[in-house]
Amino acid sequence: MKKTYLIIPIIAFLAISVFFYKGLFSDPTNIENVSLHRDFPAFHLGDLMDSKVQRDESEFIGKVTLVNVWGTWCVTCRIELPFLTQLREQHNMRIVGVYYDNAADAAFGEVDIRSTRLEVKQMLGQLGDPFIYNVYDKTRDLSLDLGITGAPESFLVNKAGKIIWHRRGDINSRIWQSELKPLFEQALAE
């Protein structure tokens, strides 16, 4: 009977050791991507600059669109904006922004949409404006449906409205050449 009591802690110790050992060698950036190869989620959101204008996913049908989730509070987005503007100008890329307001959290209080619009205008005026329009995801429903973990994140949507590429982090010349450009050109040709 005493041997049984000794074996249980040893087995528990070995199980915990294996669990932590596997964690040491796992890739924390390897997050399962559930967005790929599915339809872009349905949404009905107001345009960031004019809430009377309503947008939805039907605007993606028949066009190749890069959807970029961003915010003025996002440092990496500031770095990414000039490159996205270059993509729009040089490759005629259709880029739609999903404005993800960090301050929309209840802990920060109510968002003043006028000051948000002013911040967005100033930032896009300084760093470049790659977007044909921005939707305002105030309640973060679209961001949640997309599985957003932060900003920036981007999705390439084909003419059928399916997500064919997803990136967490900025798009730069290396990512453009190695990942996005081949898929963008293939999607345009289809």
Residue range 123-159, pLDDT digits in tens: 999 999 999 999 999 888 999 999 988 899 999 999 9
* Residue 96 β-bridge partners: 67, 133
- To the question of pTM greater than 0.85 for the whole model, the response is no
pLDDT for position 25: 65
Q: Where are the domains of the chain?
A: 34-189
Q: Which helix (H) or strand (E) covers residue 106, if one does?
A: none
Residues whose CB falls within 8 Å of the CB of residue 4, separated by 6 or more in sequence, listed in order: none
Please tell me the CATH superfamily of domain 34-189, with its number. Glutaredoxin (3.40.30.10)
Mean pLDDT of 81-105: 90
Residue range 10-35, pLDDT digits in tens: 887 888 887 777 766 665 555 556 67
Residue range 66-77, pLDDT digits in tens: 999 999 989 999
Q: Single out the residue of 156, 155, 171 nearest to residue 84, CA to CA.
A: 171
Q: 170 with 80: CB under 8 angstroms?
A: yes
Question: Phi and psi dihedrals of 132, rounded to 5?
Answer: -80, -30
Question: Phi and psi dihedrals of 52, rounded to 5?
Answer: -70, -25
